Amino acid sequence: QKVHVLPQTVLYIADAETFSGHEECHEQKKARKRNSKETAVALEKLLPKRCQVLGLVTPGIVVTPMGSSSNQPQEIEEGEAGFALLFPKIDGVKIHTFHFSKDLKNRVFDESKFAEAGLKNNPDLRVVLLFGYNSWKSGATRFLHQIVNPLNEKSIILAGGQVESFTSLTSENSSAQPGDACGVVGLAFSGPQIQSATVLLDQDVADERTAEAAMQRLKAANIPEHNTIGFMFACVGRGYRHYKTKRNMEADAFRKFFPNIPLFGFFGHGEIGCDRIVTGNFILRECNDIKDDLLHGYTTVMTLIHLGSTK
């Protein structure tokens, strides 16, 4: 008997070449360049109408090939690649998308929008994945700080990075698409059973030994590995260039310590995240009185998200 599980939330990420590649135009018998909107619409037609969809375009991809969670994760810095994560309804877990775009008329961000998006006054909020877009625009960095700083709490894991663009956000109407604006999109994970941990690989992590030491610290958080996803958000300046032409260094280090956790993510234009130390009862420990620095360059953020035990 076949059992079909419908996705409630979908996160898909592809590199720009994949998303706006070429397809044959039958009328003229020649290839033409697709635009990202066409591709996004075609993908969304494959999914249930009430499904939340967040689609991102990035310079490079980190993916564990389909078939088995123990497959080797791949850092794909050139060439076409992409993946989609389909989250079904999970008891005790709520996942929702959000979008904040910079208001050209108002320099101050209205923080009441956080509560509307479930990012404030939500005691069950555990993890927020944040993705900035159009980061080259004037005021983009300042706007990102306005989003990140109020969420910089010891009870919440924040992770993500700067992407090329976002192509899908089906929880919003089509008129809310960004155009030339800058902003932030993301996924929020709420639920008392969710556990998470994150480590930051800075510029000093530049060889196999130091990369594995970072993964060892992540392993020490003792996050349950069943029903857990790994995310890797790396700078385009890392990868094989950073490791002196040795490819897949960080993904290989992750797999050495987490052989059964699939790893997904991207190479982007800036990273969001920090080191978080997790105690035995999964309360994030206050490391010092200074808030974490969450915005980085030339780093990699590695994150584990455990969605609870499955029946």
Q: Percentage of residues in the chain with pLDDT exceeding 90? A: 47
- Whether 189 and 265 map to the same domain: the answer is yes
Q: Are strands 195-201 and 300-306 parallel, antiparallel or unpaired?
A: antiparallel
Alpha helices in 127-244 (DSSP H): 140-151, 208-219, 239-242
Q: How confident is the model at residue 150 (pLDDT cuts 50, 70, 90)?
A: confident
CB 201 within 8 A of CB 211: yes
Return the residue matching tokens 């159009």.
134
Q: Which of 120, 90, 124 is nearest to 9 (CA)?
A: 90
Domain boundary among 69, 86, 103: 86
- Whether 200 and 302 map to the same domain: the answer is yes
Q: What is the mean pLDDT of residues 164-172?
A: 76
pLDDT at 92: 92
Q: How far are the Cα atoms of 17, 132, 221, 261, 298 from residue 59, in angstroms, in the given order?
A: 9, 14, 30, 24, 14
Point out which residues pair with 278 in neighbouring strands: 284
Q: What residues contact residue 58 under an 8 Å CB cut-off, 6+ apart?
A: 13, 14, 15, 16, 163, 164, 266, 267, 268
Range of the domain at 276: 93-310
Q: What is the mean pLDDT of residues 261-267?
A: 96
Is pLDDT larger for residue 257 or for residue 38?
A: 257
Residue type, 278: V
- Whether 108 and 194 map to the same domain: the answer is yes
Q: How far are the Cα atoms of 34, 54, 237, 271 from residue 147, in angstroms, in the given order?
A: 33, 18, 25, 14
Q: How confident is the model at residue 133 (pLDDT cuts 50, 70, 90)?
A: very high
Per-residue pLDDT reduced to its tens digit, 23-33? 545 455 444 44
Is pLDDT larger for residue 4 or for residue 252?
A: 252
Domain boundary among 66, 86, 106: 86
Per-residue pLDDT reduced to its tens digit, 174-213? 434 445 688 999 999 999 999 999 999 998 988 999 999 9
- For residue 53 the two structure tokens come to 């969809």
pLDDT at 293 over 60: yes
- Whether 165 and 275 map to the same domain: the answer is yes
What angle, 0 to 180 degrees and rounded to 10, lies between the N-to-C axes of helices 208-219 and 249-257?
A: 40
Instruction: Classify residue 4: in a domain, yes or no.
Output: no
Q: What is the mean pLDDT of residues 75-85?
A: 90
Q: Please count the other Cβ atoms lying within 10 Å of the Cβ belonging to residue 152.
A: 14
Q: How confident is the model at residue 280 (pLDDT cuts 50, 70, 90)?
A: very low
Q: What is the mean pLDDT of residues 257-282?
A: 81
- Whether 151 and 298 map to the same domain: the answer is yes
- Whether 289 and 250 map to the same domain: the answer is yes
Q: What is the mean pLDDT of residues 16-21?
A: 72
Question: For the chain, how many residues are written?
Answer: 311
Q: Which of 172, 177, 181, 184 is nearest to 105 (CA)?
A: 181
Query: What is the average pLDDT score of the chain?
Result: 83
pLDDT at 49 over 80: yes
Residues 111, 151: Cα–Cα separation, whole Å: 10
Q: What is the mean pLDDT of residues 151-161?
A: 88
Residues 236, 215: Cα–Cα separation, whole Å: 20
pLDDT at 29: 47
- Whether 197 and 58 map to the same domain: the answer is no
Most confident of 67-81, 115-129, 141-155: 115-129
